[in-house]
Chain A
Amino acid sequence: MTEQDSTQRLPEESGETGSCQLDRRTFLSKSLAAPAMLLAVLQPAPSDKAAAAETPQAEAYRPSQHNYAMGIDPGKCIGCGRCAEACKTENNVPREPFYFRTWIERYVIQTDGQVTVSSPNGGLSGFPPVQETGILRTFFVPKLCNHCANPPCVQVCPVGATFTTQDGVVLVDESYCIGCRYCIQACPYGARFLHPVKRTAEKCTFCYHRLVKGLRPACVEVCPTQARIFGDLKERASPLSRFMRFNQIQVLKAHLNTEPKVFYANLDGEVK
């Protein structure tokens, strides 16, 4: 064994004598490459850990791979209010009739051109009978936060408590919001309100806690006529992309350049 060891050591020693002949250029390039390789090996580990810590429920969830949006087909909405009810239950929204993350509006357009928009209790407990004479058109329109790609509410927040996530959802950081209500004023869609107990701004989250678990938002889940279609704009084949392909798509208050991500199909011109 000792003989073998000595015989093995011999070529090593000769190698070492060889390394003494390393020129400066090779030495520098090799010593520069070593820490870079070390970094490359170590790099993926902490980032994986961070992602896992972010969403402990779904390790595979990568926010940057999604861009969520919703499609709404008012032609299918029956105004049953199940979406508004499910939203309140799912997100513990106060039950008083002033606080809604999503609600339904009824439009009644009369032959004399008068337009009446009503939303008693957000449509949650149904709509009262309507005077049937003299109606030109009447229909329901579900509304919610438009999760704008260019959100005015995020722009005005003085502390950075409301923000757009990497997957395109506009959220509120409850523990950082100072309750100044600037964002409530800035939202052109009236989609925000001040929580009466927490005194912080609240709004639709697209049920973000459900999305990260692979579930659909509660309002989409319970809609009995599939008037709401949820999906990912980065996905090429999905119910949403089909909806976007086969309908004339409009957004609310397009002239404000907020780039809403709630898309309406064949929307009536009276809907603002």
Chain B
Amino acid sequence: MPQQIWRLLVVFGVLVTGLVVARHFLIPKTFGEIGHYRAAAVSSVAARKVNYAGREACAVCHDEIAKDYVRRKHGNLTCEVCHGAGAAHADAPTEVKLQTPRQRAACLLCHSYDPSRPTGFPQIDPVAHNAPKPCVGCHNPHAPEPPHTPEQCGACHGQIARAKEVSPHAALECTQCHKVEKQHLLTPAASTPSVPTSREFCGQCHASGAASAKEIPRVDMAAHGQLYVCWQCHYPHYPELR
């Protein structure tokens, strides 16, 4: 074999050996075991500390609260929503104590009125609703049924109440159009209020021949939108036509 080939082979040999040695030292041990990553990274992520103990951990000791609590309005909430991360407390119950929020602000995070919140979610106007008093004075957070059933629909239906307040329908009571069973005040989802089902209902005020105040806008019921009940086009809580 010619000399130059030998030399090339030696050079290649050195390069390949260098590569193998470099790979051995540079590539982490478990790299590529499962995929194109360090398999050991998975276990190091899995070994991180848990801070939220989870609801089951609370029920082990606080069984008295947990037992009754699940049937109440806050039954879907884990204890740590209000009391904060509890793994440290679960490990050392006497040394680490959890917070017990008593200020209004804690409750208002969820229950202050915000139009972006889903309709029907219980929301209060923080200014109008017993302003300086802490919520826990009247409501037991573990069984937060209101001390007495709300007198105003706006207590839950804030979005509708606020729109109606500034609309031409402001003077109308909710019960003018909705029949509300008593059951609705206790378990809202079990009995929903009725809605007007006929055009004639709105026609009592808005038909051209109706015996109502003359500034109320009139429509010819025979010629205007016969196919629909009025509220299918007009939003009655804030009617856009004046």
Contacts and interface: CB of A to CB of B under 8 A. Distances in A.
Interface of A: 53-57, 63, 75-82, 86, 89-91, 106-108, 126-127, 129-130, 132, 135, 138-140, 160-166, 171, 173-176, 205, 208-210, 212-213, 215-216, 218, 221-222, 224-226
Interface stretch (B14-22, B50-58, B177-185, B217-225): B50-58
B42 A89 contact: no
Contact of A221 (B34, B48, B80): B80
Interface of B: 28, 31, 34-39, 41-52, 54-55, 74, 76-78, 80-81, 84-85, 108-110, 112, 114-118, 121, 162
A215 B80 CA distance: 14
B110 A80 contact: yes
Nearest to B39: A54
Nearest to A132: B115
A221 B84 CA distance: 12
Nearest to B105: A126
Given A132-B115, A209-B49, A218-B52, A160 B36 contact: yes
Nearest to A111: B240
A82 to B, nearest CB: 6
Is chain B's interface secondary structure helix, strand, loop, or mixed overall? loop
Contacts, number: 128
Contact of B76 (A106, A127, A213, A225): A225
24 contacts: A55-B46, A78-B118, A86-B80, A89-B51, A89-B84, A106-B116, A126-B109, A132-B162, A135-B115, A138-B115, A139-B116, A160-B36, A163-B36, A171-B41, A171-B42, A171-B45, A173-B44, A176-B38, A210-B50, A218-B51, A221-B80, A222-B52, A225-B76, A225-B121
A131 to B, nearest CB: 10
Given A209-B48, A221-B52, A54 B114 contact: no
- Residue of B28, B74, B116, B118 contacting most chain A CB atoms (<10 Å): B116
Nearest to B76: A226
Contacts of B28: 176
Contacts of A160: 31, 36-38
The 6 closest A-B pairs by CB, nearest first: A173-B41, A163-B37, A209-B48, A138-B116, A80-B110, A212-B46
Contacts of B108: 126
Contact of B116 (A82, A127, A222): A127
A90 B46 contact: no
Given A89-B85, A126-B109, A56 B117 contact: no
Given A89-B85, A226-B76, A216 B42 contact: no
